[in-house]
Structure 1
């Protein structure tokens, strides 16, 4: 496709965004290893654990988050996406999509955009995950060493700050969720391989075998001189 004769500039493209030492935190632990987790307002609710994922092509919100927002999670508009990485080792089929307003900034200087989310029924350490579509809509620029996000706003540049303590806390929560997922997966596999409606093989063999007076007993004379006086004794008993 040929480019237009006149450039079609995106909203906010006229605002330069830069980072310098004024943005530098007092200390940076393992630069680039901490997730960029920020505050944002989503659907008029304040969220404190919004993961900014520049590697994702989707925006994701979780059913647990929507329930806490008193929003229905059934009969949502259908999603056409199937993706990996939310549930380890298997594809995820979203429950649907939802359109919500996302706001960054402060009451004195903020910006709001309408964002489409994929709704996923899965446990997460985050309230929501915002991917490249949100970065592009806000013309936002992340700095993963400083844990900051900057974007054009109506009064200049809006800066949203993360912190290393919150990122570490989310990492710890993720470890707990992963362990729980492993336990649940193991239990689910056991549920499939162990049919509780059937007795184990050795139990079935013992219960199916009926007692036989002919095969399982022998006659024993109890009168010293009268051989007709006998009793049936188990053949498994040893002679005294």
Structure 2
């Protein structure tokens, strides 16, 4: 459990700019799109994901009057808290910890958010440039690669911009990072 966690040097063209998003097993259910956030104190499980669990897991939910406050000061009321087993890794490099999740009724691209508390429990170290999460297990160090694989400049990723464009009404504009010779340039959002 005390093996050193190291990252190897990688060439600049392989460096990632994307968030580290992983998969794991939470309460015996395989969950994808787990966002790892070293800046968040809370461990969040979104209600739409929690509703898929059997009643034996749903009965563990403790309803509390909680508010989650974001970095901009906005508050969202939480549904409650629930303690669930979280398993990361693949045999033989596997580890399970109990995580106290805040269940949040909101909309997100992700199913779960691992904050600092969960990352500390696992002793996990995240490397955005490597797009990896590494943690110690009784049998050595495991590496979980991000679901968003590959260098950011080489992949064709669709980005979505929201805003008020030419006529002042709300609209959406889709653009592709590769449309601008491999470098991301945001669209002109407002007319001068």
Q: What TM-score results when the alignment is normalised by the length of structure 1?
A: 0.57
Distance 2:79 2:21 in 1: 24
Pick aligned residue for 1:36 from 1, 17, 20: 20
Q: Give 1:97 shift.
A: 0.2
By relative contact order (CA 8 Å, sep 6+), the higher-ranking structure is 2
Q: Give 1:91 shift.
A: 0.8
Pick aligned residue for 2:141 from 148, 152, 157: 157
Unaligned runs of 5+ in 1: 1-11, 180-185, 187-240
Match of 1:84 in 2: 69
Distance 2:125 2:83 in 1: 23
Conserved 8 A contact 2:68-2:77? yes
Q: CA 1:53 to 1:166, structure 2 compared with 1: closer, same or farther past 3 Å?
A: farther
Q: CA 1:103 to 1:25, structure 2 compared with 1: closer, same or farther past 3 Å?
A: farther
Is 1:116 aligned to 2:96, yes or no?
A: no
Conserved 8 A contact 2:60-2:82? no
Pick aligned residue for 2:83 from 99, 114, 118: 99
Higher CA-based Rg: 1
Q: CA 1:54 to 1:167, structure 2 compared with 1: closer, same or farther past 3 Å?
A: farther
Q: Which moved more, 1:75-84 or 1:45-54?
A: 75-84
Match of 1:230 in 2: none
Count the aligned residue pairs: 160
What SS is found at the alignment partner of 1:137? helix
Q: CA 1:17 to 1:61, structure 2 compared with 1: closer, same or farther past 3 Å?
A: same
Q: How far does the alpha carbon of each residue in 1:7-46 deviate from its partner, in whole angstroms, 9 at most, with x for none?
A: xxxxx4x32111113xx489436x4x31110011111111
RMSD: 3.3
Q: How far does the alpha carbon of each residue in 1:26-85 deviate from its partner, in whole angstroms, 9 at most, with x for none?
A: 9436x4x31110011111111121000110001000110011223576883144642233
Alignment of 1:14-93 (within 5 A): 14-21=2-9, 24=10, 27-28=13-14, 31=16, 33-71=17-55, 76-79=61-64, 81-85=66-70, 90-93=74-77
Q: What TM-score results when the alignment is normalised by the length of structure 2?
A: 0.70
Q: Which has the higher strand share?
A: 2
Unaligned runs of 5+ in 2: 164-169, 171-192
Q: Which has the higher helix share?
A: 1
